[in-house]
Structure 1
Amino acid sequence: MKNYSETSFLESFESSISRSRAAQADRSDNWNVLDDQLTDNQRWSTWPSVEKLMRGPKPYPEFVIEDAAAIDTELGVLKTGKEADVFLIERATDSQSALLAAKRYRSPDQRMFHRSSTYTEGRSVRRSRDARALKNGSNYGRLVEASRWANSEWQYLLLCYEAGAPVPYPVQIMGTEILMEFIEDPESAGGAAPRLQQVHPGPERLQGYWDQLVNAMKVFASLGFAHGDLSPYNVLAAGDRLVVIDLPQFVDLSGNEQGIELLQRDCRNMCNWFVARGLAVDSEELLAELIAAAW
Protein backbone atom coordinates (compact mmCIF):
# COMPACT_ATOMS: atom_id res chain seq x y z
CA MET A 1 0.00 0.00 0.00
CA LYS A 2 1.30 3.44 -0.84
CA ASN A 3 2.25 5.78 1.97
CA TYR A 4 -0.44 8.29 2.82
CA SER A 5 0.74 11.88 3.30
CA GLU A 6 -1.41 14.90 4.05
CA THR A 7 1.51 17.31 4.06
CA SER A 8 2.96 16.42 0.66
CA PHE A 9 -0.25 17.80 -0.82
CA LEU A 10 0.19 21.18 0.87
CA GLU A 11 3.77 21.43 -0.29
CA SER A 12 2.72 20.56 -3.85
CA PHE A 13 -0.26 22.91 -3.62
CA GLU A 14 1.85 25.88 -2.51
CA SER A 15 4.41 25.15 -5.24
CA SER A 16 1.66 24.74 -7.82
CA ILE A 17 0.10 28.10 -6.92
CA SER A 18 3.49 29.80 -7.34
CA ARG A 19 4.00 28.14 -10.71
CA SER A 20 0.51 29.09 -11.81
CA ARG A 21 1.07 32.75 -10.94
CA ALA A 22 4.41 32.76 -12.74
CA ALA A 23 2.86 31.18 -15.82
CA GLN A 24 0.06 33.73 -15.83
CA ALA A 25 2.59 36.55 -15.56
CA ASP A 26 4.66 35.16 -18.44
CA ARG A 27 1.71 34.97 -20.78
CA SER A 28 -0.20 38.08 -19.66
CA ASP A 29 1.34 40.40 -22.26
CA ASN A 30 0.41 38.10 -25.13
CA TRP A 31 -2.90 36.70 -23.94
CA ASN A 32 -4.75 39.77 -22.73
CA VAL A 33 -6.94 39.76 -25.82
CA LEU A 34 -7.68 36.06 -25.40
CA ASP A 35 -8.42 36.45 -21.70
CA ASP A 36 -10.99 39.12 -22.52
CA GLN A 37 -12.84 36.58 -24.64
CA LEU A 38 -13.49 34.26 -21.69
CA THR A 39 -16.88 34.49 -20.02
CA ASP A 40 -17.52 34.51 -16.28
CA ASN A 41 -17.96 30.74 -16.23
CA GLN A 42 -14.71 30.04 -18.10
CA ARG A 43 -11.01 29.78 -17.31
CA TRP A 44 -7.89 28.54 -19.02
CA SER A 45 -7.26 24.87 -18.35
CA THR A 46 -5.50 24.40 -15.03
CA TRP A 47 -3.73 21.25 -16.27
CA PRO A 48 -0.43 23.01 -17.15
CA SER A 49 -0.31 24.61 -13.69
CA VAL A 50 -0.36 21.43 -11.64
CA GLU A 51 2.68 19.32 -10.87
CA LYS A 52 3.00 15.77 -12.16
CA LEU A 53 2.29 14.27 -8.73
CA MET A 54 -1.01 16.14 -8.73
CA ARG A 55 -2.16 14.47 -11.94
CA GLY A 56 -3.78 11.09 -12.43
CA PRO A 57 -1.88 7.88 -13.18
CA LYS A 58 -0.54 7.10 -16.64
CA PRO A 59 -1.49 6.08 -19.22
CA TYR A 60 -3.95 8.95 -19.32
CA PRO A 61 -7.42 8.05 -20.62
CA GLU A 62 -8.46 9.55 -23.94
CA PHE A 63 -10.70 12.12 -22.24
CA VAL A 64 -7.73 13.75 -20.46
CA ILE A 65 -6.85 16.88 -22.47
CA GLU A 66 -3.28 18.09 -21.92
CA ASP A 67 -3.36 21.03 -24.33
CA ALA A 68 -2.45 24.29 -22.56
CA ALA A 69 -4.81 26.15 -24.90
CA ALA A 70 -7.84 24.26 -23.59
CA ILE A 71 -10.61 26.19 -21.89
CA ASP A 72 -12.60 25.00 -18.88
CA THR A 73 -16.28 25.96 -19.01
CA GLU A 74 -18.47 25.45 -15.96
CA LEU A 75 -21.81 24.06 -17.12
CA GLY A 76 -23.68 23.72 -13.83
CA VAL A 77 -23.97 21.89 -10.54
CA LEU A 78 -24.08 18.10 -10.49
CA LYS A 79 -24.39 17.64 -6.74
CA THR A 80 -24.42 19.73 -3.60
CA GLY A 81 -23.18 18.38 -0.29
CA LYS A 82 -22.48 19.39 3.27
CA GLU A 83 -18.73 19.71 2.73
CA ALA A 84 -18.28 20.02 -1.02
CA ASP A 85 -20.14 20.66 -4.25
CA VAL A 86 -19.62 18.91 -7.57
CA PHE A 87 -19.76 20.90 -10.81
CA LEU A 88 -19.87 19.78 -14.43
CA ILE A 89 -16.91 21.12 -16.40
CA GLU A 90 -16.25 20.97 -20.12
CA ARG A 91 -12.55 21.09 -20.98
CA ALA A 92 -12.21 21.82 -24.68
CA THR A 93 -9.95 22.89 -27.52
CA ASP A 94 -10.87 23.58 -31.13
CA SER A 95 -10.51 19.89 -31.92
CA GLN A 96 -11.60 17.97 -28.82
CA SER A 97 -13.67 18.27 -25.68
CA ALA A 98 -14.40 16.24 -22.57
CA LEU A 99 -16.74 16.47 -19.62
CA LEU A 100 -15.25 16.35 -16.12
CA ALA A 101 -16.64 16.45 -12.60
CA ALA A 102 -15.07 19.15 -10.42
CA LYS A 103 -15.42 18.49 -6.70
CA ARG A 104 -14.74 21.63 -4.67
CA TYR A 105 -14.35 21.44 -0.94
CA ARG A 106 -15.53 24.31 1.17
CA SER A 107 -13.48 26.04 3.85
CA PRO A 108 -14.30 24.90 7.42
CA ASP A 109 -16.43 27.98 8.20
CA GLN A 110 -18.60 27.33 5.12
CA ARG A 111 -19.34 23.68 5.83
CA MET A 112 -22.66 22.46 7.13
CA PHE A 113 -21.02 19.38 8.64
CA HIS A 114 -17.67 18.79 10.30
CA ARG A 115 -16.32 15.30 10.02
CA SER A 116 -15.95 13.33 13.21
CA SER A 117 -12.51 12.36 14.46
CA THR A 118 -13.92 8.82 14.19
CA TYR A 119 -12.78 8.78 10.56
CA THR A 120 -9.34 10.31 11.08
CA GLU A 121 -8.20 8.06 13.90
CA GLY A 122 -4.94 6.44 12.86
CA ARG A 123 -3.98 9.27 10.49
CA SER A 124 -1.22 11.71 11.31
CA VAL A 125 -0.16 15.19 10.28
CA ARG A 126 3.56 14.86 9.78
CA ARG A 127 4.72 18.47 9.85
CA SER A 128 4.64 19.96 13.34
CA ARG A 129 3.81 23.36 11.85
CA ASP A 130 0.62 21.93 10.33
CA ALA A 131 -0.34 20.11 13.51
CA ARG A 132 0.06 23.28 15.57
CA ALA A 133 -1.87 25.32 13.02
CA LEU A 134 -4.76 22.84 13.06
CA LYS A 135 -4.86 22.96 16.84
CA ASN A 136 -4.66 26.74 17.09
CA GLY A 137 -7.11 27.52 14.29
CA SER A 138 -4.84 30.05 12.59
CA ASN A 139 -5.33 31.25 9.02
CA TYR A 140 -2.80 28.70 7.88
CA GLY A 141 -4.59 26.11 9.98
CA ARG A 142 -7.82 26.81 8.12
CA LEU A 143 -5.95 26.25 4.86
CA VAL A 144 -4.67 22.92 6.18
CA GLU A 145 -8.15 21.93 7.35
CA ALA A 146 -9.75 22.98 4.06
CA SER A 147 -7.17 20.99 2.11
CA ARG A 148 -6.82 17.80 4.11
CA TRP A 149 -10.17 16.28 3.05
CA ALA A 150 -9.56 17.10 -0.61
CA ASN A 151 -6.11 15.56 -0.28
CA SER A 152 -7.58 12.49 1.44
CA GLU A 153 -10.02 11.90 -1.39
CA TRP A 154 -7.32 12.42 -4.00
CA GLN A 155 -4.96 9.93 -2.35
CA TYR A 156 -7.68 7.31 -1.96
CA LEU A 157 -8.93 7.78 -5.52
CA LEU A 158 -5.41 7.14 -6.79
CA LEU A 159 -4.94 4.14 -4.54
CA CYS A 160 -8.26 2.54 -5.43
CA TYR A 161 -8.11 3.29 -9.15
CA GLU A 162 -4.66 1.74 -9.46
CA ALA A 163 -5.88 -1.30 -7.51
CA GLY A 164 -8.70 -1.81 -10.00
CA ALA A 165 -11.60 -0.61 -7.85
CA PRO A 166 -14.61 0.93 -9.65
CA VAL A 167 -13.99 4.60 -8.81
CA PRO A 168 -13.84 7.66 -11.09
CA TYR A 169 -10.49 8.26 -12.76
CA PRO A 170 -8.73 11.07 -10.84
CA VAL A 171 -7.62 13.67 -13.41
CA GLN A 172 -5.92 16.30 -11.24
CA ILE A 173 -6.03 18.15 -7.95
CA MET A 174 -5.32 21.82 -7.37
CA GLY A 175 -6.02 23.41 -4.03
CA THR A 176 -9.36 22.16 -2.78
CA GLU A 177 -10.64 21.22 -6.24
CA ILE A 178 -10.44 17.68 -7.60
CA LEU A 179 -11.16 17.10 -11.28
CA MET A 180 -12.24 13.55 -12.00
CA GLU A 181 -13.96 11.43 -14.60
CA PHE A 182 -17.56 12.38 -15.27
CA ILE A 183 -19.67 9.24 -14.91
CA GLU A 184 -22.26 9.45 -17.66
CA ASP A 185 -25.52 7.55 -17.78
CA PRO A 186 -25.20 5.37 -20.91
CA GLU A 187 -28.99 5.21 -21.06
CA SER A 188 -29.36 9.00 -21.16
CA ALA A 189 -26.83 10.63 -23.48
CA GLY A 190 -25.04 13.51 -21.76
CA GLY A 191 -26.78 12.88 -18.44
CA ALA A 192 -25.09 12.03 -15.18
CA ALA A 193 -25.37 8.48 -13.89
CA PRO A 194 -28.01 8.25 -11.13
CA ARG A 195 -27.27 7.18 -7.60
CA LEU A 196 -27.98 3.56 -6.80
CA GLN A 197 -30.73 4.71 -4.44
CA GLN A 198 -32.68 6.07 -7.42
CA VAL A 199 -32.75 2.95 -9.60
CA HIS A 200 -34.95 -0.16 -9.61
CA PRO A 201 -33.03 -2.81 -11.57
CA GLY A 202 -34.44 -6.11 -12.75
CA PRO A 203 -33.22 -9.40 -11.23
CA GLU A 204 -30.29 -9.93 -13.61
CA ARG A 205 -28.91 -6.42 -13.27
CA LEU A 206 -29.50 -6.48 -9.50
CA GLN A 207 -27.36 -9.61 -9.18
CA GLY A 208 -24.70 -7.98 -11.33
CA TYR A 209 -24.71 -4.92 -9.10
CA TRP A 210 -24.27 -7.10 -6.03
CA ASP A 211 -21.30 -8.95 -7.52
CA GLN A 212 -19.64 -5.65 -8.45
CA LEU A 213 -20.26 -4.16 -5.04
CA VAL A 214 -18.78 -7.15 -3.21
CA ASN A 215 -15.72 -7.07 -5.46
CA ALA A 216 -15.27 -3.33 -4.85
CA MET A 217 -15.53 -3.71 -1.08
CA LYS A 218 -13.04 -6.59 -1.22
CA VAL A 219 -10.56 -4.38 -3.06
CA PHE A 220 -10.96 -1.72 -0.38
CA ALA A 221 -10.51 -4.32 2.36
CA SER A 222 -7.44 -5.85 0.68
CA LEU A 223 -5.88 -2.37 0.73
CA GLY A 224 -6.61 -2.20 4.45
CA PHE A 225 -9.60 0.14 4.32
CA ALA A 226 -13.34 0.41 4.68
CA HIS A 227 -15.24 3.09 2.81
CA GLY A 228 -16.64 4.27 6.14
CA ASP A 229 -19.70 5.99 4.72
CA LEU A 230 -20.91 3.57 2.07
CA SER A 231 -24.57 3.71 1.14
CA PRO A 232 -26.74 3.64 -2.00
CA TYR A 233 -26.37 7.43 -2.07
CA ASN A 234 -22.66 7.37 -2.89
CA VAL A 235 -22.69 4.57 -5.45
CA LEU A 236 -23.51 5.50 -9.04
CA ALA A 237 -25.37 3.17 -11.40
CA ALA A 238 -24.03 3.75 -14.92
CA GLY A 239 -26.10 1.26 -16.87
CA ASP A 240 -24.79 -2.17 -15.91
CA ARG A 241 -21.78 -0.67 -14.13
CA LEU A 242 -21.43 0.52 -10.53
CA VAL A 243 -19.02 3.31 -9.56
CA VAL A 244 -18.23 4.15 -5.93
CA ILE A 245 -17.77 7.83 -5.09
CA ASP A 246 -17.09 10.05 -2.04
CA LEU A 247 -13.93 8.53 -0.59
CA PRO A 248 -12.38 11.13 1.77
CA GLN A 249 -13.42 9.35 4.97
CA PHE A 250 -11.77 6.00 4.13
CA VAL A 251 -11.12 4.18 7.41
CA ASP A 252 -7.91 2.35 8.26
CA LEU A 253 -9.08 -1.08 9.44
CA SER A 254 -5.96 -1.76 11.48
CA GLY A 255 -5.21 1.77 12.71
CA ASN A 256 -8.72 2.81 13.68
CA GLU A 257 -10.32 1.17 16.72
CA GLN A 258 -13.75 1.65 15.18
CA GLY A 259 -12.71 0.36 11.76
CA ILE A 260 -14.57 -2.96 11.95
CA GLU A 261 -17.65 -1.27 13.36
CA LEU A 262 -17.70 1.17 10.44
CA LEU A 263 -17.13 -1.66 7.98
CA GLN A 264 -20.08 -3.49 9.53
CA ARG A 265 -22.20 -0.38 9.05
CA ASP A 266 -21.18 -0.22 5.38
CA CYS A 267 -22.27 -3.85 5.00
CA ARG A 268 -25.66 -3.23 6.65
CA ASN A 269 -26.34 -0.10 4.58
CA MET A 270 -25.71 -1.85 1.31
CA CYS A 271 -27.35 -5.18 2.19
CA ASN A 272 -30.52 -3.41 3.33
CA TRP A 273 -30.86 -1.83 -0.10
CA PHE A 274 -30.37 -5.11 -1.95
CA VAL A 275 -32.75 -7.00 0.35
CA ALA A 276 -35.38 -4.30 -0.20
CA ARG A 277 -34.99 -4.84 -3.97
CA GLY A 278 -35.54 -8.60 -3.61
CA LEU A 279 -32.02 -10.07 -3.40
CA ALA A 280 -31.38 -12.40 -0.46
CA VAL A 281 -28.04 -11.27 0.98
CA ASP A 282 -26.69 -11.20 4.53
CA SER A 283 -24.62 -8.38 6.00
CA GLU A 284 -22.80 -10.61 8.50
CA GLU A 285 -21.73 -13.00 5.74
CA LEU A 286 -20.48 -10.05 3.71
CA LEU A 287 -18.60 -8.71 6.73
CA ALA A 288 -16.88 -12.07 7.22
CA GLU A 289 -15.80 -12.13 3.55
CA LEU A 290 -14.35 -8.63 3.82
CA ILE A 291 -12.48 -9.35 7.04
CA ALA A 292 -10.96 -12.41 5.35
CA ALA A 293 -9.92 -10.24 2.41
CA ALA A 294 -8.33 -7.71 4.74
CA TRP A 295 -6.31 -10.26 6.72
Structure 2
Amino acid sequence: MAQDDAPDLDPDLDPDQRWSTWSSVEKGMRGPDPRPEWVVIADAAIDTELGVLKTGKEADVFLLERAVPDEPGQFSLLAAKRYRSSEHRAFHRDSAYVEGRQVRRSRDRRAIERKSSYGREAAAAQWANAEFAALSMLWSAGAPVPYPVQIDGTEILMEFVGEHASTGQADGSPASRVAAPRLARVRPDVGTLEAYWDQLRGAMGVLAAHGYAHGDLSPYNVLAQGERIVIIDLPQVLDLVANPHGTDLLMRDCRTMCAWFRSRGLDVDEGELFAELIAQAW
Protein backbone atom coordinates (compact mmCIF):
# COMPACT_ATOMS: atom_id res chain seq x y z
CA MET A 1 0.00 0.00 0.00
CA ALA A 2 1.36 3.40 -0.91
CA GLN A 3 2.11 5.71 2.00
CA ASP A 4 -0.54 8.19 0.85
CA ASP A 5 -3.11 5.39 1.01
CA ALA A 6 -2.25 4.40 4.60
CA PRO A 7 -5.31 4.28 6.85
CA ASP A 8 -5.90 6.97 9.46
CA LEU A 9 -5.28 5.19 12.76
CA ASP A 10 -7.06 7.89 14.79
CA PRO A 11 -9.99 8.99 12.61
CA ASP A 12 -11.96 10.33 15.58
CA LEU A 13 -9.23 12.54 17.03
CA ASP A 14 -8.93 16.22 16.22
CA PRO A 15 -5.57 17.73 15.20
CA ASP A 16 -5.07 19.05 18.75
CA GLN A 17 -5.71 15.62 20.31
CA ARG A 18 -3.76 12.43 20.93
CA TRP A 19 -4.29 9.26 22.91
CA SER A 20 -2.99 9.50 26.46
CA THR A 21 0.74 8.80 26.62
CA TRP A 22 0.56 7.43 30.19
CA SER A 23 0.82 3.77 29.17
CA SER A 24 3.66 4.42 26.74
CA VAL A 25 6.11 5.76 29.33
CA GLU A 26 8.13 3.49 31.59
CA LYS A 27 7.18 3.24 35.24
CA GLY A 28 10.31 5.14 36.27
CA MET A 29 9.18 8.04 34.11
CA ARG A 30 5.95 8.48 36.10
CA GLY A 31 5.37 10.59 39.18
CA PRO A 32 6.06 9.42 42.72
CA ASP A 33 3.71 7.41 44.91
CA PRO A 34 1.27 7.89 46.46
CA ARG A 35 -0.24 9.14 43.23
CA PRO A 36 -3.02 11.76 43.66
CA GLU A 37 -6.52 10.51 42.91
CA TRP A 38 -7.01 13.02 40.11
CA VAL A 39 -4.27 11.50 37.92
CA VAL A 40 -5.95 9.82 34.94
CA ILE A 41 -4.26 6.56 33.93
CA ALA A 42 -6.96 4.96 31.77
CA ASP A 43 -5.89 3.77 28.31
CA ALA A 44 -9.10 5.25 26.89
CA ALA A 45 -8.11 8.78 27.94
CA ILE A 46 -7.52 11.45 25.31
CA ASP A 47 -5.09 14.35 25.63
CA THR A 48 -6.49 17.60 24.23
CA GLU A 49 -4.28 20.65 23.90
CA LEU A 50 -6.21 23.75 25.01
CA GLY A 51 -3.70 26.52 24.39
CA VAL A 52 -0.44 28.13 25.47
CA LEU A 53 0.05 28.94 29.14
CA LYS A 54 3.54 30.39 28.93
CA THR A 55 6.47 30.84 26.59
CA GLY A 56 9.84 30.82 28.29
CA LYS A 57 13.58 30.96 27.76
CA GLU A 58 14.07 27.22 27.53
CA ALA A 59 10.59 25.74 27.15
CA ASP A 60 6.96 26.43 26.34
CA VAL A 61 4.07 25.38 28.57
CA PHE A 62 0.67 24.31 27.25
CA LEU A 63 -2.64 23.60 28.96
CA LEU A 64 -3.64 19.99 28.40
CA GLU A 65 -6.86 18.19 29.24
CA ARG A 66 -6.54 14.45 29.88
CA ALA A 67 -9.96 12.84 30.06
CA VAL A 68 -11.97 9.73 29.26
CA PRO A 69 -14.93 10.73 27.08
CA ASP A 70 -18.30 10.59 28.84
CA GLU A 71 -16.72 9.78 32.22
CA PRO A 72 -16.75 12.99 34.33
CA GLY A 73 -14.67 11.40 37.10
CA GLN A 74 -11.84 10.65 34.66
CA PHE A 75 -10.72 14.20 33.98
CA SER A 76 -7.68 16.33 34.79
CA LEU A 77 -6.02 19.52 33.64
CA LEU A 78 -2.26 19.33 33.16
CA ALA A 79 0.55 21.69 32.30
CA ALA A 80 2.62 20.25 29.45
CA LYS A 81 6.13 21.71 29.55
CA ARG A 82 8.05 21.07 26.33
CA TYR A 83 11.75 21.84 26.24
CA ARG A 84 13.36 23.22 23.13
CA SER A 85 16.67 22.00 21.76
CA SER A 86 19.57 24.33 22.48
CA GLU A 87 19.55 26.16 19.13
CA HIS A 88 15.97 27.29 19.81
CA ARG A 89 16.51 28.41 23.39
CA ALA A 90 17.10 31.92 24.65
CA PHE A 91 18.75 30.80 27.90
CA HIS A 92 22.49 31.11 27.46
CA ARG A 93 23.77 30.82 31.04
CA ASP A 94 23.67 27.03 31.22
CA SER A 95 27.24 26.51 32.41
CA ALA A 96 26.79 28.05 35.86
CA TYR A 97 23.95 25.66 36.62
CA VAL A 98 25.19 22.39 35.13
CA GLU A 99 28.61 22.37 36.80
CA GLY A 100 28.74 19.33 39.04
CA ARG A 101 26.03 17.46 37.14
CA GLN A 102 26.85 14.04 35.79
CA VAL A 103 25.71 12.84 32.36
CA ARG A 104 25.36 9.09 32.80
CA ARG A 105 25.71 7.94 29.21
CA SER A 106 29.14 8.63 27.72
CA ARG A 107 27.60 8.88 24.24
CA ASP A 108 25.31 11.68 25.43
CA ARG A 109 28.17 13.47 27.17
CA ARG A 110 30.35 13.43 24.06
CA ALA A 111 27.46 14.55 21.85
CA ILE A 112 26.62 17.44 24.19
CA GLU A 113 30.26 18.53 24.20
CA ARG A 114 30.39 18.40 20.38
CA LYS A 115 27.04 20.23 20.16
CA SER A 116 25.84 17.84 17.48
CA SER A 117 22.17 17.59 16.52
CA TYR A 118 21.80 14.57 18.80
CA GLY A 119 23.75 16.40 21.49
CA ARG A 120 21.37 19.36 21.39
CA GLU A 121 18.42 17.03 21.88
CA ALA A 122 20.26 15.22 24.67
CA ALA A 123 20.93 18.55 26.39
CA ALA A 124 17.24 19.46 26.24
CA ALA A 125 16.36 16.06 27.71
CA GLN A 126 18.96 16.63 30.44
CA TRP A 127 17.16 19.80 31.54
CA ALA A 128 13.77 18.08 31.42
CA ASN A 129 15.06 15.13 33.44
CA ALA A 130 16.59 17.48 36.02
CA GLU A 131 13.30 19.29 36.50
CA PHE A 132 11.26 16.09 36.70
CA ALA A 133 13.64 14.66 39.31
CA ALA A 134 13.52 17.88 41.34
CA LEU A 135 9.72 18.02 41.23
CA SER A 136 9.47 14.37 42.29
CA MET A 137 11.88 14.83 45.19
CA LEU A 138 10.28 18.04 46.41
CA TRP A 139 6.69 16.80 46.07
CA SER A 140 7.56 13.65 48.02
CA ALA A 141 9.14 15.83 50.73
CA GLY A 142 5.96 17.90 51.04
CA ALA A 143 7.22 21.06 49.34
CA PRO A 144 4.73 23.28 47.47
CA VAL A 145 5.43 22.24 43.89
CA PRO A 146 3.16 20.85 41.14
CA TYR A 147 2.77 17.09 41.14
CA PRO A 148 4.88 15.67 38.27
CA VAL A 149 2.65 13.23 36.39
CA GLN A 150 5.13 11.89 33.83
CA ILE A 151 8.07 12.67 31.60
CA ASP A 152 8.32 11.58 27.97
CA GLY A 153 11.51 12.71 26.26
CA THR A 154 11.57 16.50 26.52
CA GLU A 155 7.93 16.83 27.63
CA ILE A 156 6.92 16.96 31.29
CA LEU A 157 3.27 16.66 32.24
CA MET A 158 2.55 18.12 35.65
CA GLU A 159 -0.32 19.33 37.77
CA PHE A 160 -1.92 22.49 36.40
CA VAL A 161 -2.02 25.14 39.12
CA GLY A 162 -5.24 27.07 38.55
CA GLU A 163 -6.32 30.32 40.15
CA HIS A 164 -8.44 28.37 42.66
CA ALA A 165 -7.07 25.62 44.89
CA SER A 166 -10.05 23.36 44.12
CA THR A 167 -9.79 22.39 40.47
CA GLY A 168 -12.42 19.67 40.62
CA GLN A 169 -10.14 17.23 38.88
CA ALA A 170 -11.12 14.10 40.76
CA ASP A 171 -14.83 14.62 41.33
CA GLY A 172 -15.85 16.06 37.98
CA SER A 173 -16.82 19.49 39.32
CA PRO A 174 -15.93 22.52 37.20
CA ALA A 175 -12.20 23.12 36.86
CA SER A 176 -10.63 26.54 36.49
CA ARG A 177 -8.69 26.92 33.27
CA VAL A 178 -7.14 30.20 34.41
CA ALA A 179 -3.62 29.83 35.74
CA ALA A 180 -2.78 31.09 39.21
CA PRO A 181 -1.08 34.50 39.12
CA ARG A 182 2.62 34.88 39.65
CA LEU A 183 3.67 36.15 43.05
CA ALA A 184 5.05 39.29 41.42
CA ARG A 185 1.51 40.28 40.36
CA VAL A 186 -0.27 40.02 43.71
CA ARG A 187 -0.62 42.33 46.71
CA PRO A 188 -1.66 40.09 49.60
CA ASP A 189 -2.86 41.30 52.97
CA VAL A 190 -0.50 41.11 55.94
CA GLY A 191 -1.70 37.71 57.13
CA THR A 192 -1.42 36.13 53.70
CA LEU A 193 1.98 37.75 53.13
CA GLU A 194 3.30 36.23 56.36
CA ALA A 195 1.87 32.84 55.36
CA TYR A 196 3.57 33.10 51.97
CA TRP A 197 6.88 33.88 53.68
CA ASP A 198 6.61 30.89 55.99
CA GLN A 199 5.80 28.64 53.03
CA LEU A 200 8.72 30.00 51.03
CA ARG A 201 11.16 29.47 53.89
CA GLY A 202 9.87 25.95 54.29
CA ALA A 203 10.22 25.15 50.59
CA MET A 204 13.74 26.58 50.37
CA GLY A 205 14.54 24.67 53.54
CA VAL A 206 13.42 21.37 51.99
CA LEU A 207 15.71 22.03 49.04
CA ALA A 208 18.63 22.95 51.30
CA ALA A 209 18.11 19.92 53.54
CA HIS A 210 18.47 17.73 50.45
CA GLY A 211 21.61 19.64 49.41
CA TYR A 212 20.06 21.77 46.67
CA ALA A 213 19.15 25.35 45.78
CA HIS A 214 16.62 26.53 43.22
CA GLY A 215 19.22 28.73 41.56
CA ASP A 216 16.86 31.07 39.72
CA LEU A 217 14.16 31.79 42.29
CA SER A 218 12.12 34.94 41.82
CA PRO A 219 8.54 36.20 42.27
CA TYR A 220 8.01 35.29 38.62
CA ASN A 221 8.43 31.55 39.16
CA VAL A 222 6.33 31.36 42.29
CA LEU A 223 2.56 31.10 41.83
CA ALA A 224 0.04 32.50 44.32
CA GLN A 225 -2.92 30.14 44.52
CA GLY A 226 -5.23 31.60 47.10
CA GLU A 227 -3.51 31.29 50.47
CA ARG A 228 -0.69 29.06 49.27
CA ILE A 229 2.31 29.46 47.02
CA VAL A 230 3.56 26.97 44.44
CA ILE A 231 7.15 27.02 43.20
CA ILE A 232 7.68 26.28 39.50
CA ASP A 233 10.50 26.30 36.91
CA LEU A 234 13.05 23.98 38.49
CA PRO A 235 15.32 22.72 35.66
CA GLN A 236 18.36 24.58 36.96
CA VAL A 237 18.18 23.16 40.50
CA LEU A 238 21.80 22.83 41.58
CA ASP A 239 23.86 20.82 44.01
CA LEU A 240 25.17 23.08 46.77
CA VAL A 241 28.29 20.95 47.23
CA ALA A 242 29.18 19.79 43.71
CA ASN A 243 28.47 23.11 42.01
CA PRO A 244 31.13 25.76 42.79
CA HIS A 245 28.52 28.50 42.26
CA GLY A 246 26.02 26.83 44.59
CA THR A 247 26.19 29.09 47.64
CA ASP A 248 26.44 32.24 45.50
CA LEU A 249 23.27 31.32 43.62
CA LEU A 250 21.53 30.39 46.88
CA MET A 251 22.39 33.84 48.25
CA ARG A 252 21.00 35.40 45.08
CA ASP A 253 17.75 33.48 45.59
CA CYS A 254 17.58 34.84 49.15
CA ARG A 255 18.23 38.43 48.05
CA THR A 256 15.68 38.30 45.24
CA MET A 257 12.87 36.87 47.34
CA CYS A 258 13.56 39.02 50.40
CA ALA A 259 13.53 42.14 48.21
CA TRP A 260 10.02 41.27 47.00
CA PHE A 261 8.68 40.59 50.48
CA ARG A 262 10.17 43.87 51.75
CA SER A 263 8.54 45.70 48.84
CA ARG A 264 5.20 44.37 50.10
CA GLY A 265 5.87 45.55 53.66
CA LEU A 266 7.33 42.50 55.43
CA ASP A 267 10.56 43.03 57.37
CA VAL A 268 12.80 40.13 56.30
CA ASP A 269 16.56 39.77 55.97
CA GLU A 270 18.37 37.81 53.27
CA GLY A 271 21.39 37.22 55.50
CA GLU A 272 19.28 35.55 58.16
CA LEU A 273 17.48 33.44 55.56
CA PHE A 274 20.77 32.40 53.95
CA ALA A 275 22.27 31.41 57.32
CA GLU A 276 19.15 29.40 58.15
CA LEU A 277 19.33 27.51 54.85
CA ILE A 278 23.06 26.84 55.09
CA ALA A 279 22.50 25.39 58.56
CA GLN A 280 19.88 23.03 57.12
CA ALA A 281 22.18 22.05 54.25
CA TRP A 282 25.07 21.18 56.54
**TM-score between the two structures when normalised by the length of structure 2:** 0.91
| Cα distance in structure 2, aligned partners of 1:143 and 1:213 | 33
Q: Deviations over 1:160-192 (max 9, x none)?
A: 111111110000000100000011111894321
Tell me, yes or no, if structure 1 residue 76 matches structure 2 residue 43: no
Q: Deviations over 1:113-148 (max 9, x none)?
A: 233211111112122212111112223212211211
Partner of 2:261: 274
Other structure's SS at 1:263 match: helix
Tell me, yes or no, if structure 1 residue 152 matches structure 2 residue 130: yes
Other structure's SS at 2:243 match: coil
Partner of 1:217: 204
Name the % identity. 63
**Counterpart code for 2:92:** H
Match of 2:39 among 42, 64, 67: 64
Partner of 2:109: 131
In the TM superposition, 1:174-185 aligns within 5 A as: 174-185=152-163
Q: Runs of at least 4 residues of structure 1 off by over 6 A?
A: none
Tell me, yes or no, if structure 1 residue 106 matches structure 2 residue 84: yes
Q: Deviations over 1:66-91 (max 9, x none)?
A: 11110000000111101101100000
**Counterpart code for 2:214:** H
In the TM superposition, 1:2-17 aligns within 5 A as: none
Other structure's SS at 1:232 match: coil
In the TM superposition, 1:170-209 aligns within 5 A as: 170-186=148-164, 189-209=176-196
Structure 2 unaligned regions, length at least 5: 1-5, 166-174
Partner of 1:5: none
Partner of 1:41: 16
Other structure's SS at 1:233 match: coil
Q: CA deviation at 1:151?
A: 0.8
Partner of 1:166: 144
**Counterpart code for 1:104:** R
Partner of 2:243: 256
Other structure's SS at 2:80 match: strand
Q: Aligned residue pairs: how many?
A: 265
Partner of 1:283: 270
| Cα distance in structure 2, aligned partners of 1:143 and 1:116 | 15
Partner of 1:142: 120
| Cα distance in structure 2, aligned partners of 1:48 and 1:100 | 16
Considering fraction of residues, name the structure with more helix.
1
Q: Which shifted more, 206-215 or 104-113?
A: 104-113
Structure 1 unaligned regions, length at least 5: 1-27
Q: Deviations over 1:192-248 (max 9, x none)?
A: 111000100000000000000001100000000110000000000000011100111
Other structure's SS at 1:102 match: strand
Q: Which shifted more, 55-64 or 228-237?
A: 55-64
Partner of 2:75: 97
Match of 2:29 among 50, 54, 57: 54
Q: CA deviation at 1:263?
A: 0.5
